[in-house]
Chains A and B, each alone.
Chain A
Amino acid sequence: MQYRITGLTLAAIGAGLPGAAGAQTLDLSVTIPQMKVAEYHRPYVAVWLEKEGAAPRTLQVWYDFDGRSAEGAGTKWLRDMRQWWRVVGRGMSFPADGVTGATKAAGTHKVSLVAGKGPLPALAPGNYKLMVEAAREVGGREVVTVPFTWNGSKATTATAKGASELGAVTVSIKR
């Protein structure tokens, strides 16, 4: 893991949770809409989890991480996802293990995360916000917030929809 804040976030979000009996899984679905534009570039996308009183946690970052982009290793434009950058991104090193992915084409993309593996800590019961931010070169930017409550055992699903740069975003958590 390359998080500078790993220990802190694990302690913060997972605080008070005894060893999980059955692993939690968090299923994400993020839709990138089709655009009818003259010049299209796949958006940079960041997905992170916020909980009041806890340090936010990056779950996914999709960008030109492979160094083939014209300028640097693609990190130059991470700051254009400006809310994510301010909240958590600017404190991370890149490429960040476990969260980094290539940019995605238009369509629906699913990611399944298991608590305790990769970027997802065991989640203490509470009110969360799943945040998704997309920023597109020569295009726009949008943040979609998906609030959900996790009571520790009952499976729950929440969804929200973007208006421009993002389509439907769904989060499901179960154990």
Chain B
Amino acid sequence: MNFRKPLLAAAAVIAIAAPAAIAHRQWMLPSSTTVSGTDNWVTVDAAVSNDLFFFDHQPMRAVPVVTQPDGTTGQVENHNVGKFRATFDLHLTQQGTYKVAVVNEGVFGSYVLNGERKMLPRGTNTANLAAAIPAGATDVQTAENVSRNEIFITQGAPTNTVFKTTGKGIELVPITHPNDLVTNEPGNFQFLKNGKPGAGLTVTVIPGGIRYRDALHEQVLKTDAEGKVSIKWGQPGMYWVMVNEGGERGEGPGGGQGGPRPQGAPGGQGAAPAGGPQAGPAGPGGRPMGPVRARVSYVTTLEVLAP
């Protein structure tokens, strides 16, 4: 890429590096979240689209990781990526709560080499970051990106082993179990950011079935100082819940383009992982990029039953 205007380049970096913050909703939709018996199959649709939960845009290509009630890793079976959606099956043989997760961890950012700003290639992560930055690069700006998309399925009574946190990105700690939701009781959850209570996170809640109504019926909530949020449900059904720092359309910190970019901010941000060369303040043309912020997001699909 050979941008003549560094400002344009900066916008492009952000737009490409964090498409999730700009458009389209990523979702997984299980055929059941609550099952009885001892040996069941559940199938899941996984896609990226605007309307929930209609697969009409892109499939979710990643193969999810399954955590079983006993803490061991389970298997995704019959994974198939179609034009508009991926599908896969889970064979449930244990009693308790299963987690199906797609976690994306990456590093995005840019550097200046021979007077040109280049962005880090897609697929850069903390492990290969050093190799991605050529010798002689200056004004390296990087930030980590951790996005999680998780669903929960319970055979028998709900259990809590799959909620063990890792301290990376945004994670859900149940107060109300996500497979124990009914319309006449609020759903209460705590969200952690990098292992600590995620205060002030934006929680976007949208009921499925968007195609057949005019209003989005979206709720935009904020977590409190302890990272807790209480969601009041409307009709029974599947709800898409997204948690991040700026809301769906990127207002506020970490939310993507549109925010003010401080002039003259030093290059090499605090969020840069160790090992990345830190460099001087200004890019070519004297317009620094401004801070590149770490981006964290969490998505889940919750089934809310009639009482």
Contact = CB atoms under 8 A, between A and B. Distances in A.
A85 B36 contact: yes
Interface of A: 72-73, 75-79, 82-83, 85-86, 89-91, 94
B141 interface: no
B180 A78 contact: no
24 contacts: A72-B37, A72-B40, A75-B36, A75-B37, A75-B38, A76-B37, A77-B36, A78-B36, A78-B37, A79-B34, A79-B35, A79-B36, A82-B34, A82-B305, A82-B306, A83-B307, A86-B180, A86-B182, A90-B34, A90-B36, A90-B157, A91-B156, A91-B157, A94-B37
Please name the 9 residue pairs, one residue from A and one from B, whose CB atoms are nearest each other, closest first: A75-B37, A78-B36, A79-B36, A90-B157, A91-B157, A76-B37, A75-B36, A79-B34, A72-B37
A82 B38 CA distance: 17
Main secondary structure, interface of A, reads: helix
B181 to A, nearest CB: 10
A116 to B, nearest CB: 27
B38 to A, nearest CB: 7
A76 B34 CA distance: 10
A75 B92 CA distance: 14
A86 B157 CA distance: 8
A101 to B, nearest CB: 17
Contact of A89 (B32, B36, B158): B36
A34 to B, nearest CB: 26
B156 A72 contact: no
A70 to B, nearest CB: 13
Contacts of B180: 86
B39 interface: yes
Interface in B24-50: 32, 34-40
Interface in B18-75: 32, 34-40
A76 B36 contact: yes
Contacts of B36: 75-79, 85, 89-90, 94
Contacts of A86: 180, 182, 305
A151 B155 CA distance: 39
B182 A76 contact: no
Contacts of B40: 72, 76
A76 B286 CA distance: 66
A114 B32 CA distance: 38
